[in-house]
Amino acid sequence: AINMIGSNGIRGVDYCAMEEDNIQFTLPQKRKNVTVAVEGNIGSGKTTLLKYFRKNDEVEVIEEPVSKWQNVGGSNLLELFYKDCQRWSFLFESYALLTLMQIHKRPHTTPIKMVERSVYSGYYCFEHNLCASGLMASVEHGVHNDWFTWITEKEQPQLDLIIYLRTTPEKCMERIKQRCRSEETSVSMDLLKELHDRHEAWLIEKKFPVPAPVVIVDGNRSLDEMYRFYDSNTGCLLGMDTCVPCEGLEVRQ
């Protein structure tokens, strides 16, 4: 595996300066429609990335369906979940799975569809963490597992590329405090560390199936640095060009 060189102080080989013959990675073959999922912790920088690519006419950006979660038959399921995770975790995760799958299956309106998170991170990261934390009963996890397995096998959601914003829990917490979203007031450092470990287990250690190649981006940079990085790597991040690992970027098949 190639170590990502980023702003965390780890230094190593500058892959951009190497001969490219041995370090290029082939991303999904070009197809008419491409689906890219942006994955990462709370506060990892997903909103910044989505905002950047929203200006691209070739890209349809679809954020998490929060408005649906906030109005289920007139009830705010998201608010209920935040107030009492143990009581509402199974129902919320089940509805999140449904609404995220609807996004996966939504017809393309542009060549590239970029979605905020996927059914896979919802299950492998968030649902698994609820179960491990004792906020979802094992029998509920078992039912959710069967439901997730069946729906992903039957519907086979298209996913051609995953962008993983790999950001430290400390940096995530710093950003959460800066943006002051009301629904994030209960987010703790412990939760951010747990979710970071879940994303690492899935996308780095591959303890669970990874459905597409992964572009790993150092998410610890400043806003200006991230925008410059996206300017320089647009083709790679949209699955259009071959990625060459360089400072702040790594690719895993």
Sorted by where each starts, the structural domains of the chain and their CATH numbers stand as 34-238 (3.40.50.300)
pTM over 0.75: yes
Token pair in block for residue 64? 């998490």
Q: Which residues contact 47 (CB under 8 A, 6 or more apart)?
A: none
- Residue 83: the pLDDT is 87
Helix locations, the chain, DSSP H? 46-53, 66-69, 77-83, 85-105, 119-121, 128-132, 138-155, 169-179, 189-199, 223-232, 234-237
Find the helix packing angle between 189-199 and 169-179, rounded to 10°. 130
Q: Region 204-232: what's the mean pLDDT?
A: 92
Give the mean pLDDT of 204-221: 94
Please, which residues bridge with residue 244 across strands?
none
Cα–Cα dist 41/193, whole Å: 9
% of the chain with per-residue pLDDT over 70:
81
Give the strand order in the sheet containing 112-116: 59-62, 112-116, 34-40, 161-166, 214-218, 249-252
Which of 65-69, 107-111, 233-237, 239-243 has the lowest average pLDDT? 239-243
Higher pLDDT, 209 or 23: 209
Q: What is the mean pLDDT of the chain?
A: 84
Lowest mean pLDDT among 128-132, 134-138, 188-192, 245-249: 245-249
What pLDDT is recorded for position 246?
61
Whether the pLDDT of residue 11 is over 60: the answer is no
Q: CA torsion angle for 91, 95, 100, 102 (degrees, to 10)?
A: 160
Q: Tell me the per-residue pLDDT of 43-56, one tens digit each, with 9 for 90 and over.
A: 999 999 999 999 99
Q: How many CA atoms lie within 13 A of 213 on its CB side?
A: 20
Please confirm, yes or no, whether 116 is among the known catalytic residues: yes
Pick from 33-47, 57-71, 238-252: least confident = 238-252
Distance CA 83, CA 103 (A): 26
Range from 81-95, 145-159, 221-235 carrying the lowest mean pLDDT: 221-235
Catalytic residue among 116, 127, 140, 250: 116
Q: How far apart are CA 27 and CA 195, in angstroms?
A: 27
| Predicted local distance difference test score (pLDDT) of residue 27 | 44
* Residue 4 clears pLDDT 70, i.e. is over it: no
In the prediction, which pLDDT does 1 show? 35
Per-residue confidence (pLDDT) for residue 8, from 0 to 100: 33
Give the pLDDT of residue 249. 65
| pLDDT at 224 > cutoff 70 | yes
Q: Give pLDDT, residue 177.
A: 85
Q: Report the alpha-carbon distance of residue 52 to residue 4 in Å, rounded.
A: 22
